[in-house]
Amino acid sequence: MNEELVIELLEKLRNGTISEYHVNKEEFLVVREVIVKREDFKHFRGIAQRGGGVIYQYLENPRS
């Protein structure tokens, strides 16, 4: 997975085109690296899954 694809998927989460995105453990570090660089990174919630995967959602209100 490349950075451009991650940015595209995060934009889809932000604008509501998709409600959540499942990331497997092999892709996690790439996705996380892109998210923390974003100005709206506190709006993303990652829900850890068994086996190392994460489900990302976009929140209207930022996490504290």
> pLDDT at position 5, please?
96
Indicate the pairing of strand 54-58 with strand 44-48.
antiparallel
How much is the average pLDDT of 20-48? 96
State how far the Cα of 22 lies from the Cα of 34, in Å rounded to an integer: 15
Encode pLDDT of 10-28 as tens digits: 999 999 999 999 999 999 9
**Distances in whole angstroms, Cα of residue 49 to Cα of each of 9, 36, 52, 54:** 19, 20, 6, 5
Q: 3 is written with which tokens? A: 């950075």
